[in-house]
Amino acid sequence: DADVTQTPRNRITKTGKRIMLECSQTKGHDRMYWYRQDPGLGLRLIYYSFDVKDINKGEISDGYSVSRQAQAKFSLSLESAIPNQTALYFCATSDLVSTNSYNEQFFGPGTRLTVL
């Protein structure tokens, strides 16, 4: 079984609709992240969470919100979807790190979202 799972894997929706993307992990990691990937651009960070009570905005948080329901679950919501939010969305996890070190990020399989 995959360590990081995302649902749904594909979603087509209309402008103005509310959408929730869900992420679950069995790796026991404290840190979770939401990224979006667009053609010709690198992954861009939307939100990240260091633990259940710690949520932080990333580079492109406008138009998105998140909820960390438990250590293992991190959901991304688009309150009112718009076409330029069409992208591939990835959830990722990593283990706790000290300030000046880094641990590998493990990604879910991605959710392909299309907003018409």
Near other proteins by CB under 8 A: residue from 34, 87, 93, 108: 108
110 binds other proteins (CB under 8 A): yes
State the minimum distance, in angstroms, from the CB of residue 94 to other proteins.
Answer: 9
* Distance, CA of 71 to CA of 56 (rounded, Å): 15
Binding status of residue 70 toward other proteins by CB under 8 A:
no
Question: Residue 49: exposed, middle, or buried by beta-carbon count in 10 A (0-12, 13-18, 19+)?
Answer: buried
Which listed residue (52, 55, 58, 86) binds other proteins by CB under 8 A?
58
Residue 64 or residue 90: which is nearer to other proteins going by CB? 90
Which tokens belong to 69?
Answer: 């329901």
What does the DSSP 8-state code read for residue 84? G
